[in-house]
């Protein structure tokens, strides 16, 4: 018996994972990706702040990147599987960025305590760590804007 959408009905046995994934509504992937964009970005910012000990050196900006991408993706959800991958890309990139900024910020605080002349040099390294989050948001925006969204 075929169900709406051409997939298997609930209770049927699936042969492989592709059948399971084909029966999931595409809107679910889009909304999960949007949630992961903000969730993983905030988790990365929190992890970076935890490593540093304070949000003094820029780990909190990573959470804002996730909010921006989720707002962009939320406005584009029509029939949109690329929104899920764009959200996951942004979330994972910003999670790594938050950890990098936290580690660099912690090292910057320790180096500044030892030798005040090292502050600017290590701050430049922290800016490069922040660039990872900016690259993630740029890739997510490109992924969400270049996709062709069709409503059938």
What digits encode the pLDDT tens for the residues 11-70? 667 788 888 878 887 778 778 888 888 888 888 888 888 887 765 667 778 888 888 888
User: What global pTM score does this model have?
Assistant: 0.74
Average pLDDT, the chain: 79
| Residue ranges of domains in the chain, CATH in brackets | 25-146 (1.20.120.610)
Q: If 0-12 CB within 10 Å is exposed, 13-18 middle and 19+ buried, where does residue 25 land?
A: exposed
Q: At 90, is the pLDDT very low, low, confident or very high (cuts 50, 70, 90)? A: confident
Whether the pLDDT of residue 4 is over 60: the answer is no
Partners of residue 2 on adjacent β-strands: 8
């Amino acid at each position: 018996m075929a169900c709406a959408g051409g997939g298997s009905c609930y209770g049927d046995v699936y042969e492989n994972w592709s059948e399971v994934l084909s029966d999931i509504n595409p809107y679910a992937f889009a909304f999960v990706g949007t949630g992961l964009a903000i969730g993983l970005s905030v988790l990365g910012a929190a992890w970076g702040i935890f490593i540093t000990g304070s949000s003094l050196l820029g780990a909190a900006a990573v959470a804002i990147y996730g909010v921006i991408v989720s707002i962009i993706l939320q406005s584009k959800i029509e029939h949109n599987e690329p929104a899920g991958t764009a959200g996951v890309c942004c979330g994972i990139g910003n999670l790594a960025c938050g950890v990098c900024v936290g580690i660099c910020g912690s090292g910057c605080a320790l180096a500044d305590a030892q030798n005040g002349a090292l502050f600017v040099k290590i701050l430049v390294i922290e800016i490069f760590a922040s660039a990872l989050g900016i690259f993630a948001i740029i890739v997510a925006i490109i992924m969400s804007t270049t996709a062709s969204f069709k409503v059938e």
